Amino acid sequence: MIRLWAVAAGLAFACATLAFAQAPAKPDPAKGQAIATQVCAACHGADGNSPTSANPHLAGQIPEYLYRQMVAFKSQGGKKPERENAVMTGMVAPLSDADMRNLAAYYAAQKLKPAAARDKDLAALGQKIYRGGNVASGVPACAGCHGPTGAGIPSQYPRIAGQYPEYIEAQLKAFRAGTRANDPNGMMRGAAARLTDQEIRALAEYVAGLR
């Protein structure tokens, strides 16, 4: 019995040691800042506040989400990336797993300079859909996953509050068309497929003004 206990204890220790050795190191935002300055600043801004609506704000985004997107853009073993974008695939190609975690941690810690809603009527329609969905067409309420203020849910759903409306509109249309398909269980594709162009614009407008 004593021998069996000793063997079991040894195996447990070995497993714990192996798990510890394989666990990723704690992200280093300072190292992420260096990468952001050299690689990402032209499109996303040195502090994650993008200078143009064609590229998303990254400041204040949930770090797990940022990391997952970089992994999705990265070609693994020569295979087609999960999320296709020639520019982003090229940018993340030389980054290691630690680099991507450091970069995500850096941008997540930056202060977002949010976009703003510009069309009051369109934003009002977007608010209705965001909070309550569209029962007639089967569109679920966006707040269910992204939260009532658009802050997202850590490790699950991204922050979308204050994002450029043009970027939100482009991503919703990409999900609807199926050209972006890295959403868990097809949730975003299913929801976007039921949205009209006007509803997409309305949601994008409302999200831009969320705080």
Q: Is residue 1 part of a domain?
A: no
17: confidence class by pLDDT, cuts 50, 70, 90? very low
SS3 string, the chain, reads CHHHHHHHHHHHHHHHHHHHHHCCCCCCHHHHHHHHHHHHHHHHCCCCCCCCCCCCCCCCCCHHHHHHHHHHHCCCCCCCCCCCCHHHHHHHCCCCHHHHHHHHHHHHCCCCCCCCCCCHHHHHHHHHHHHHCECCCCECCCHHHHCCCCCCECCCECCCCCCCHHHHHHHHHHHHHCCCCCCHHHHHHHHHCCCCHHHHHHHHHHHHCCC
Task: Give pLDDT, residue 146.
Answer: 98
Mean pLDDT of 17-41: 83
Domain termination residue (choose one: 108, 143, 177): 108
Task: Give pLDDT, residue 23.
Answer: 66
Taking all residues of the chain, what is their mean pLDDT, rounded to a whole number? Answer: 91
22: confidence class by pLDDT, cuts 50, 70, 90? low
In this predicted structure, which of 9-13, 146-150, 203-207 has the lowest mean pLDDT?
9-13
> What global pTM score does this model have?
0.88
Domain termination residue (choose one: 65, 86, 108): 108
Task: Give pLDDT, residue 67.
Answer: 98
Task: Give pLDDT, residue 172.
Answer: 98
Tell me what percent of the residues of the chain surpass a pLDDT of 90. Answer: 85
What is the tally of structural domains in the chain?
2
Question: Which range of residues forms the domain containing residue 99?
Answer: 29-108
Mean pLDDT of 68-78: 92
- For position 61, which CATH number holds? 1.10.760.10
Answer whether residue 4 shows pLDDT above 70. no
